[in-house]
Chains A and B, each alone.
Chain A
Amino acid sequence: MITRAFVTFAGLIAAWQVLVWATALPIYMLPGPVQTAAALVDRYDIILWHGAVTALEIVLGLVFGTIIGSGSALLLMRFRQARRWLLPMLLVSQAIPVFAIAPLLVLWLGYGLASKVAMATLIIFFPVAATFYDGLRRTHPGWLDLARTMQASPWATLRHIRLPAALPALASGLRVAAGVAPIGAVIGEWVGSSAGLGYLMLQANARLQTDLMFAALFVLALLGVALYFAVDFGLRRLLPWLPDTRHATDME
Chain B
Amino acid sequence: MSAPFVLPASPHATPLAVQIRGARLAFGGVPLFSDLDFQLEAGRWTCLLGPSGIGKSTLLRLIAGLTPTGTGTISAGDGAGLEGRIAWMAQDDLLLPWLDVLGNVTLGARLRQGRAAPGLIELAHVLLRRVGLGHRANERPATLSGGERQRAALVRTLIEDRPIVLMDEPFSALDAITRWRLQAEAASLLRGRTVLLVTHDPREALRLGHRIFIMSGTPARLEAAPCPPGEPLRRPDDETFRRIEAALLGRLVAADSERQPGAGGP
Interface residues of A (CB under 8 A from B): 140, 142-143, 145-153, 156-157, 160-161, 164-165, 167, 239, 241-243
Tell whether, in the assembled complex, residue B96 and residue A142 are in contact, meaning their CB atoms are under 8 Å apart.
no
In the complex, what distance in Å separates the CA atom of A152 from the CA atom of B96?
Answer: 15
- B110 contacts which chain A residues (CB < 8 A)? 156, 160
Identify which of A140, A150, A157, A165 contacts B108 (C-beta below 8 A).
A150
Chain B: which residue is nearest A142 at the CB level?
B94
Is the Cβ of B84 less than 8 Å from the Cβ of A151? Answer: yes
Among B87-132, those with CB < 8 Å from A are 87-88, 90, 92, 94, 96-98, 107-108, 110-112, 114
Per the CB 8 Å criterion, the residue count for chain B at the interface is 24
- How distant is the Cα of A150 from the Cα of B105 in the complex, in angstroms? 12
* Residues in chain B near residue A151, CB distance under 8 A: 83-84, 111-112
Would you list which residues of chain B between 164 and 184 have a CB under 8 Å from chain A?
Answer: none
Query: Distance in Å from the Cβ of A165 to the closest Cβ of chain B?
Result: 8
The smallest beta-carbon distance between B172 and chain A, in angstroms, is 15
For B84, give the chain A residue with the smallest CB separation: A151
Q: Which residue of B lies closest to A239 (CB)?
A: B98
The reply to whether A148 and B96 contact each other, CB–CB distance below 8 Å, is no
The answer on a CB contact under 8 Å between A146 and B142 is no
Q: How far is the CA of A160 from the CA of B110 in the complex (A)?
A: 8
Give B97 Cβ to nearest chain A Cβ, in Å. 5
Considering the complex of A and B, which 3 residue pairs feature the smallest CB-CB distances, nearest first? Answer: A152-B111, A149-B88, A150-B108
Give CA–CA (A242, B111) in the complex, Å.
22
Residue in contact with B92 in the complex, picked from A142, A153, A164, A167, CB distance below 8 Å? A142
Q: Provide the residues of chain B in CB contact with A165, threshold 8 Å.
A: 96, 98
Residue of B whose beta carbon sits closest to that of A140: B94
Judge whether A241 and B98 touch: CB under 8 Å. Answer: yes
Q: Please give the distance in Å from B85's CB to the nearest CB on chain A.
A: 10
Inter-chain CA distance A243–B108, complex, in Å, is 25
Using Cβ atoms and an 8 Å threshold, which residues of chain A touch B83? Answer: 151
Contact residues in B for A242 (Cβ distance below 8 Å): 97
B108's nearest neighbour on chain A, judged by CB, is A150
Evaluate contact between A241 and B88: CB separation under 8 angstroms: no
* Residue of B whose beta carbon sits closest to that of A164: B98
Given contacts A142-B94, A241-B140, 14 further A-B contacts (CB under 8 A): A142-B90, A145-B88, A147-B111, A148-B66, A149-B66, A149-B86, A151-B83, A151-B112, A153-B111, A156-B110, A156-B111, A157-B111, A165-B96, A241-B97
Which residues of chain B come closer than 8 Å to A146, judged between CB atoms? Answer: 88, 90, 94, 107
